[in-house]
Amino acid sequence: MAHGRISTPVDGRAIRMRREQSGLTLRDLAARCRKAGQPVNPSQLSKIERNICRPRPRLLATLAKALKVPVEALTSGDFPTTAPRAGAA
């Protein structure tokens, strides 16, 4: 495993679901991360939620703490890394 890589895929949909359940906007979540010493901008969080990019382990831990869930709640072994193609069922 390469240093700084996450071996378990991050499920961006889970992050978004938890954020929305908490009533937080992307800006709110970014502010919580910044206060925890892990600055991230809302556009980067949006990319993570859409599975366009993956957070580094430290940011993932910060996101879990900000959302008050265990890191495992934000990871999954079976999710698409890109959006489904149009017309795909």
Q: What is the pTM for the complete model shown?
A: 0.76
The pLDDT value given to residue 25: 98
Q: What is the pLDDT of residues 16-70, one digit of tens each?
A: 999 999 999 999 999 999 999 999 999 999 999 999 999 999 999 999 999 999 9
The pLDDT value given to residue 17: 95
In whole angstroms, give the CA distance from residue 60 to residue 67: 10
In whole angstroms, give the CA distance from residue 11 to residue 40: 18
Is 39 in contact with 65 (CB distance < 8 Å)? no
